[in-house]
Amino acid sequence: MIGFDIKEMASDTYYDDEQEGLDEQIIIRLSYVTAENTPKGRTASRFATLVEDKTNGQVIVHLFPNATLYNDKNEWKAVQNGNVEMIAPATAKISEHYPEWQILDLPFAFPNYRAVEAAYEGEIGETLLEELDRSNVKGLDLWYNGFKQITNRDYSIKTPDDFSRLHFRTMPGEVIQEQFNQLNASSSTLPFSKTYQNLEVNFVDAQENTLSNINTKKFYDYQQYLTISNHGYLGYGVLINRDFWNSLSPSIQKAINDSISEATDWGRRHAIEINDQHARALRSNKSLDIYTLSAEERAQWFRTLQPLYDKTRQTVGSDLMKELNQIKYQHAY
């Protein structure tokens, strides 16, 4: 727990209705699928605290982690219909509805965390959030997690050939599906909340995820091999129902925007440390075999997956791809 405020982690984000008149309260239900002690869970908790503070308790955010309210497959419809006020899905899940978002799922799109920040907080992030104006959800911001790694139950995955004939659990998203096609692996799109069970019964052989998600969900129970590949980045779009948003006063909207901005900044600064904390826990797991790709092996993976860039350019457009390439050049290793 080094580097964290224990009181902050243990703080209860739920509000005692007896403290204020019920008629004066605005309740925001924020549904997400990861555990509390992950970058998304910790950032959501930070956001809830900030909103309550900035509105003097008028706005209360109730957090529903671990897909206790809605899962990957039904959260989009739920926020569209107003059955929940806010969700924070992985960017890949948004790309199902807005293909331009596929640019964030390209393998090896970001050489380091500085490149991710440049994309999320620059022209790419602004453009993608504006795309949501065509729907009944409003994009508030992009939240951070970390780079994805590969786990497998049978052996260490080191080269593109090692993917052949393996069956992967994946998130939705055309780029992610095509990534595994290029590697001659099959894949099934499964809710994050169902991943552990499908690993347990050997329906899937392997999966990709951040270290915080791998550790908190104990995927290592049935995945004895972990490859540190940093082949893709997992982040989130923070979305709110547009009708609900429009019903709020300008002052409440400003408080929410300010809270989101501060929570995003906090999450960006702490996401690396949170994943490092989980990395230390995984490295202390004696039953887990951990392999880190060399620079040459990473280059080999990238060459194999290069055709994805040409295909994705046709979907996301040349302007966004040009911006991504510029970011990669500016923030190269």
Question: What's the DSSP call for residue 90?
Answer: B
Q: Give pLDDT tens digits for 70-86.
A: 998 899 999 999 999 99
* Number of independent structural domains in the chain: 2
In angstroms, the CA 164 to CA 303 distance is 16
pLDDT band at 14 (very low <50, low <70, confident <90, very high): very low
Same domain, 159 and 185: yes
* Structural domain for 50, as ranges: 6-145+235-273
Same domain, 120 and 268: yes
Same domain, 41 and 169: no
Q: Give pLDDT tens digits for 281-318.
A: 999 999 999 999 999 999 999 999 999 999 999 999 99
Q: What is the mean pLDDT of the chain?
A: 92
Q: Give pLDDT tens digits for 85-130.
A: 999 999 999 999 999 999 999 999 999 999 999 999 999 999 999 9
Does residue 3 carry a pLDDT above 80?
no
Query: Does 141 reside within a domain?
Result: yes
Same domain, 223 and 107: no
More confident residue, 21 or 54: 54
Same domain, 89 and 12: yes
Query: Does 1 reside within a domain?
Result: no
Q: Is 320 left (phi over 0), alpha (psi -120 to 50) or beta?
A: alpha
In angstroms, the CA 205 to CA 213 distance is 17
Same domain, 269 and 294: no
Same domain, 100 and 199: no
CA 302 to chain centroid: 22
In angstroms, the CA 302 to CA 325 distance is 14
Same domain, 303 and 205: yes
pLDDT band at 24 (very low <50, low <70, confident <90, very high): confident
Same domain, 88 and 134: yes
Q: What angle do CA 320, 326, 327 make, to 5 degrees?
A: 90
Which pLDDT does position 333 carry in this prediction? 63
How many percent of the chain have pLDDT more than 90? 89
- Report whether 125 contacts 268 (CB < 8 A): no
